[in-house]
Structure 1
């Protein structure tokens, strides 16, 4: 399993642990309440969606990442395509960040 696959499996683990929000409303609520510790927006999301989350995450100091497309995000949590997900557990968010650190194309905003 490579680091990219490992990262996606950690997102599934976060969901099973009840430590992942998905969808616009749930993620935005988690960002505003400062329970979101790491947000993923699909790299194939609309420019408006990317800007919305970039601005909101920047304001609240939440790390934001565009490493995966909507199919990968959805598949990782066993659901249909997802544009946005947020990890809400400190330990899991650190695991995800470490596994992503090995990707040259990945950056946290």
Structure 2
């Protein structure tokens, strides 16, 4: 398992994540999301919508593995979109994902 997945699980246990397309978009609009992760196997429409919003509000975004892995790492069923609400977690996750 990739290191960033463990860190994401830790962020989930610390209640620093928001999941689900609409909730994530709300946090992006508020500029309270510090990082958005989107599963590569999400629908093209969803990915485009999230990426456009993140670009507009200047929120970092990363495409990651798949919805099953993303969901498992945070202890939930499949998840396509996850927003990290904590700056510290976001910075560390970006560093680990970009390695």
Using the size of structure 2 for normalisation, the TM-score is 0.95
The alignment of Structure 1 onto Structure 2 pairs a total of residues equal to: 99
Matches of 1:52 and 1:67, distance apart in 2:
16
Structure 1: which 5+ residue stretches go unaligned? 103-109
Report the secondary structure of 1:41's partner residue. Answer: strand
Find the partner of 2:27 among 27, 30, 51. 30
Report whether the alignment pairs 1:74 with 2:71: yes
Find the partner of 2:80 among 79, 83, 89. 83
**CA-atom RMSD in angstroms:** 1.0
Report whether the alignment pairs 1:6 with 2:12: no
Structure 2: which 5+ residue stretches go unaligned? none
| Corresponding position of 2:40 | 43
Q: Which structure shows the bigger proportion of residues in strand conformation?
A: 2
Report the secondary structure of 2:6's partner residue. Answer: helix
Matches of 1:86 and 1:45, distance apart in 2:
15
Q: Which runs of 4+ in 1 moved over 6 A?
A: none
Q: Could you tell me how far 1:72 is from its partner in structure 2?
A: 0.8
